[in-house]
Amino acid sequence: MADPMPRSSRNMVIAGGGTAGWMTAAALARFCRQGWTITLVESDEIGTVGVGEATIPMIRLFNQALGIDEAEFLRETQGTWKLGIEFDGWGAPGERYMHAFGQVGRGLGLLPFHHYWLRAHAAGRAGPLGDYALNAVAARAGRFAHVERAADSVLPPMPYAFHFDAGLYAAYLRRYAQGRGVVRIEGRIEHVERDGESGDVAALVLADGVRVAGDLFVDCSGFRGLLIEGVLETGFEDWGHWLPCDRALAVPCDRADPLIPYTRATARAAGWQWRIPLRHRTGNGYVFSSAHIGEDEAASVLLANLDGAPQAEPRLLKFRAGKRRKAWNRNVVAIGLASGFLEPLESTSIHLIQSGITRLLDFLPNGPVMDVDRDAYNRLTDFEIERIRDFVILHYVANRRDDPFWAAQRGMVLPESLAFRLDLFRASGRIIREGDELFDVPGWIQVMMGQGLVPERWHPLADALSDDHLDQFLSTVTDAFTRDAARMPGHADYLERFCAVSSIPSQSSIA
Ligand SMILES: Cc1cc2nc3c(=O)[nH]c(=O)nc-3n(C[C@H](O)[C@H](O)[C@H](O)COP(=O)(O)OP(=O)(O)OC[C@H]3O[C@@H](n4cnc5c(N)ncnc54)[C@H](O)[C@@H]3O)c2cc1C
C-alpha cells in the first residue's frame, strides 16, 4: 500500500467533498498554509447531497475572508441576492409574512422598535411589521442595491445573502482550494485504521488500497458520518419529536420572472415547499413528514406547484433532525451533515458549516488534541445548533392550520429554552438574545408576530409617546424605507449589470 502523504508537516484529512468538504478545504487552504498539509478524499461514485442553495448574510464574511470577488462568485454559481424568506400560509392559510434580514424599524430612547409597534398595532394604528423593515420593503418591491450609508445616516444597512447552485458552489471552492495546495484524492473510503494505543483515527484506506494517514480528520462525509459515527460510534441526539419532517423531494424548474430577491417557504398539508430563484433555474423542494404523506402524493403536490417546467424527476432525500452527541470526538471533527441536520427552513446548514470551520480554526491544535479544547468546541457547537433548533420549531408550534400534521405541532412539548422564550414574549413582549446565538431580536419578533403570537403587554415606556407622536414616528420609518427602496434598481437588472463587471459599480450603490 502506498502512502501519498509527505510526513514533514502535520496532516489534516477531510473525508468528503460536498459543500462542507470544499468549504473546509478552501478555508484551511487560506488560513493553514504553514505547518499543515491538507488532503481531501471524495468519491464521485457516491456523489453529494446536491441541495443547499439558500444562505444567510454571514456567508459574505466567509467569502470575504477567502478574498472571493462577489461578481465572480455570482457568475460562477449562477447566484442571486437574498434579502430574507417569505413564509406563505404558515400562521394560517392565506396569511404571509417575511423574515427579512436586518433591523426592524429603529429603536427610540431605551426601547427596541417592536414595543412601539406592538402598542400601535394593538390600537389599529400600524401596518404589518414588514412595512417597517427595509429588507422586506425592498424584497416585496423586487429591488436590490448595495447600500452604503454615511456614518451619520439614520437609515439602516441592508444586509443580504445569496442563493446559488450547490453543485457549482462546491466546484468553485474546489478550484479555489486546489489552486492553494489542497491535495484531492478521488476514491471510495473502504476502511478506516485506528491507532492501536490511543484509539484515534490513523488513516483512511481507499478501495484501490491507497492509505491516507492523518493527524486530524474532518468528517464531511454527509449524513452517513463515516468517521464520527461509523467508526467512533459517537451517538446521535434525535430531535424528530420536535421537527418531524424527515423527507424532502427536490426538483429544479425553468426560471420564472420576476427574479425575486428572496426565498419563499410555502406551508403545505404535511410540511412546506421551498422556492429558490437562481439566474439559470429555480430550485424547489417539498420538505414533509413521512408519517403524514406518502412520497408519490408529495411528488404530485410539488410538481403541481412549480412556476416553470420541471428540469428533472423529483429526487428523494431522507434525513433525521438532530445532532451528533459530540461534533468533535477524539481526533475527528464532524462538519456539515455528518455533524447533524436541521431542515432548511431558515437556511442555516451552510452557516453551521461556516461556524464549524471558524471554531476549528479557533481551536486548531498546537500539538496533540487536548480534551479541554475539544470540550469547548463541543459546548459552543451544541449551544449554537440548539438555539437554531428552537427558532425553527417556533415556525411550527404557533400555527392555526387544520391539517393533522399542523395540529400535531401545536401540541408538542417544547424544549425548555424555547418554552421560556415564548412565555417571556407572551407576558411582556420582551425578547432576549443569549450569548452568541445566531438569531437576534428582529428575527424572533418577525417570526413570532408572523405566526400570530401576540403578547399581552408591551414595555411601559412605549406608552410615554402621545398617539400623534407614535403615528408620526411609525410613518417616518415606513416612508423612509419606501422611498429608499424606490431608488433601488430592480433585482434582475442590477444582477446582470453587476455580473458583467468584476467589482461593484459605484453609481449603482445607493447612499
Ligand atoms: C432537502 C435539503 C435541503 C437543503 N437546503 C439547504 C439550504 O437551502 N441552505 C443550506 O444552508 N443548507 C441546506 N441544506 C443542507 C446542505 O445541503 C448541506 O449542509 C450541504 O450540502 C453540506 O453537505 P455535506 O457536504 O455535509 O454532505 P454531502 O453533500 O452528502 O457530501 C458528502 C461527501 O462525502 C463523500 N463520501 C461519503 N462517503 C464516502 C466514502 N465512503 N468514500 C469517499 N467519499 C465519501 C461524498 O462523495 C461527498 O463528497 C439542505 C439539505 C437538505 C437535505
* Rounded CA separation 87/268 (Å): 11
Atom 33 in ligand 1: residue holding the nearest Cα = 16
16 Cβ below 6 A of ligand 1: yes
Bond from prior residue into 258 cis (ω within 30 degrees of 0)? yes
Atom 20 in ligand 1: residue holding the nearest Cα = 19
Report the separation in Å between the CA atom of 412 and the middle of ligand 1, taken as the mean of its atom positions. 29
- Closest CA relative to residue 164, chosen from 249, 63, 246, 87: 63
Choice among 122-126, 242-246, 349-353, 432-436 with the minimum mean pLDDT: 432-436
Residue 43's pLDDT is what?
95
18 Cβ below 6 A of ligand 1: yes
Residue 233 clears pLDDT 80, i.e. is over it:
yes
Residue 502's pLDDT is what?
57
Residue 505 clears pLDDT 60, i.e. is over it:
no
Do 142 and 505 contact (CB within 8 A), yes or no? no
1: confidence class by pLDDT, cuts 50, 70, 90: very low
Choice among 2-11, 212-221, 390-399 with the minimum mean pLDDT: 2-11
Report the separation in Å between the CA atom of 20 and the middle of ligand 1, taken as the mean of its atom positions. 7
DSSP 290: T
188 Cβ below 6 A of ligand 1: yes
Ligand 1, pocket-test mutation among 13, 14, 19, most atoms within 8 A of CB: 19
Residue 281 grid coordinates: 433555474
Ligand 1, pocket-test mutation among 46, 59, 185, most atoms within 8 A of CB: 46
Which residues does residue 80 pair with via DSSP β-bridges, in sequence order?
A: 163
Residue 454 clears pLDDT 60, i.e. is over it:
yes
The CA angle 44-176-172, to the nearest 5 degrees, is 55
422 Cβ below 6 A of ligand 1: no
Residue 4's pLDDT is what?
45
Over residues 422-443, mean pLDDT: 94
Residue 352 clears pLDDT 70, i.e. is over it:
yes
Residue 7's pLDDT is what?
46
263 Cβ below 6 A of ligand 1: no
151: confidence class by pLDDT, cuts 50, 70, 90: confident
| Candidate ranges 33-47, 150-164, 373-387; pick with highest mean pLDDT | 373-387
**Which string of DSSP letters, residue by residue, matches 349-371?**
HHHHHHHHHHHHHHT--SSSPPH
| Candidate ranges 3-7, 153-157, 446-450; pick with highest mean pLDDT | 446-450
Report the separation in Å between the CA atom of 58 and the middle of ligand 1, taken as the mean of its atom positions. 19
Residue 503's pLDDT is what?
53
> Has 326 been annotated as catalytic?
no
The contacts of residue 491 (CB under 8 Å, 6+ apart) are 80, 81, 142, 143, 144, 258, 259, 260, 261
366: confidence class by pLDDT, cuts 50, 70, 90: confident
336 Cβ below 6 A of ligand 1: yes
* Rounded CA separation 247/286 (Å): 8
Residue 179's pLDDT is what?
97
**Which string of DSSP letters, residue by residue, matches 115-135?**
HHHHHHHHTT----GGGG-HH
Q: What is the mean pLDDT of the chain?
A: 94
Ligand 1, pocket-test mutation among 189, 221, 315, most atoms within 8 A of CB: 221
Nearest-atom index, ligand 1, CA of 189: 42
3-state class (DSSP) for residue 230: coil
Nearest-atom index, ligand 1, CA of 336: 26
Do 391 and 369 contact (CB within 8 A), yes or no? no
452: confidence class by pLDDT, cuts 50, 70, 90: very high
**What pTM was computed for the model?**
0.95
Residue 52's pLDDT is what?
81
Report the separation in Å between the CA atom of 31 and the middle of ligand 1, taken as the mean of its atom positions. 23
The contacts of residue 272 (CB under 8 Å, 6+ apart) are 90, 245, 265, 266, 286, 287, 345
Residue 511 clears pLDDT 70, i.e. is over it:
no
Residue 272 clears pLDDT 90, i.e. is over it:
yes
Which 3-state string (H, E, C) describes 68-98? CCHHHHHHHHCCEEECEEEEECCCCCCCEEE
Number of H helices, E strands in the chain: 14, 21
Mark 411-433 as b/e (b = at least 16 C-beta within 10 Å).
eeebbeebeebbeebeeebbbee
Residue 6 clears pLDDT 70, i.e. is over it:
no
More confident residue, 411 or 323: 323
